[in-house]
Chains A and B, each alone.
Chain A
């Protein structure tokens, strides 16, 4: 499509968060001259989600301190933002969407950036209990902040030891709460990291006074006037004034599914983020997409993926050649520890752990499948993260013996020096 053709066209975006907002600005930058209209059910100006469980939770800042873009920048770029508006359905034949109040908006190109929502597990007594919070939105954070402030005992149980659960535990501890994390698996972060990493984070929380209990399957929640009792299937129970749910997400794919778009573990898209409908793209957490580097379809929950797919979709809609081809990256901040991850470790058969200068808080975990470096998790070690990124992208063969030698400083030349013998 040439630029002149896109002058009187309308591009509609459902979901105005990391994916949708970055898409809108990229589309304008790529030369789209027609209307760009964003819809989001969330009433707040679009904001950064990662800080919600980290620095933002412990601050007293309003969400205006945490915006993706200033209010003026939307107007400046001619991007229309409709907030607090729920999109009910879409009609691919008539090429329009239907809003919560029944009104209709036509599109030429449609972007689905509906992300995900927290899973609320079917635990007996959970649905009708107060002071039970997921953590995904700015509203969730205000609710959690005021529940902590208003609680005399400040005893918190976090159900789920994934990144969001662990970050929230660390932040609430900082706010003076007594925190216990209950994890169903035998170790925390079991799905995403090596056992050594799980142990590191378990110890980190312990040192900071947060109990992490594993193999704890929560089955019931009882409330009385004064507190709640969280019961596990091994007969143990824990007292709580408030409960945080961090057991994962459901993809918001219902709109797309009802419209007959291809769905697998998310909305299925090609390398340009296009669905099986020529005029509909999907980006961010809601997508099931092909990653050329790892040669498989994946679903990711990360800012990197949201932003990179947004750019690819914008470029593609403006008629330029493009392909989504990135090595995924992610970060997590807990206490004074900065974790940075690059690559996808699934399928690894060896992990090499490095400790720099005998510092127990400066670590890196290198995941291999045979000779191929799949991923690096770096704890307070940006150097390992950066080198890992470069080496994975280049597909370099690593000299594992040199990598294991922690007496030697981490250097790329040393890591790729030919293996002798």
Chain B
């Protein structure tokens, strides 16, 4: 079980709990604004871009090579960027804070 906090571009803070699946699926199921997940989670659309809070980066790790390339579609990419369809929900990411990219 993991608690995950999303901060949307309207500065709304929403904390959700998940047990399995990807963070993208959790966000889509709960209507988190700004996370669309159009490709269903196969790293093809980059519509699930989040910025991980700096202190949570060691929990999530950084983007894989293809993920990092795809993130470049968005001009707002930075070193904390991840495509959250590539983040699996597990105890080890409990408590992370994600800012939804604009």
Bound-state Cα–Cα, A245 to B63, Å:
38
User: Do A389 and B73 contact each other (CB < 8 Å), given the known contacts A50-B39, A66-B40?
Assistant: yes
Q: CB distance B38 to A304 under 8 Å?
A: yes
Interface residue stretch chosen among A70-78, A135-143, A284-292: A70-78
- A386 B72 Cβ-Cβ under 8 A: yes
Check A383 for interface membership: any CB of B closer than 8 A: yes
Do A73 and B30 touch (CB < 8 A)?
Answer: yes
B44 touches A340 (CB 8 A): yes
A69 touches B42 (CB 8 A): no
Residues of B within 8 A of A383 (CB): 69, 72
Chain A residue at smallest Cβ distance from B40? A48
Query: Residue of A at shortest CB range from B70?
Result: A382
Q: Which residues of B contact A307 (CB under 8 A)?
A: 36, 38
Q: A371 to B39: give the CA distance in the assembly, Å.
A: 31
A76 to B30: give the CA distance in the assembly, Å.
9
Q: In the complex, which residues of chain B have a beta carbon less than 8 angstroms from the beta carbon of A331?
A: 39, 42, 44
B residues less than 8 Å from A385 (CB atoms): 69-70
22 A-B pairs (CB sep. < 8 Å): A25-B31, A29-B33, A50-B40, A51-B40, A55-B42, A66-B40, A69-B28, A72-B29, A73-B28, A73-B30, A73-B31, A303-B38, A303-B39, A304-B38, A304-B45, A331-B39, A338-B43, A382-B69, A386-B69, A386-B70, A386-B72, A390-B73
Which B residues lie at the A interface, using CB under 8 A? 28-31, 33, 36, 38-40, 42-45, 66, 69-70, 72-73
Q: Contact residues of A with B, CB < 8 Å?
A: 25, 29, 48, 50-51, 54-55, 66, 69-70, 72-73, 76-77, 303-304, 307, 331, 333, 338, 340, 382-383, 385-386, 389-390
Closest 8 pairs (CB-CB, A-B): A382-B69, A70-B29, A48-B40, A331-B44, A383-B69, A382-B66, A386-B72, A382-B70
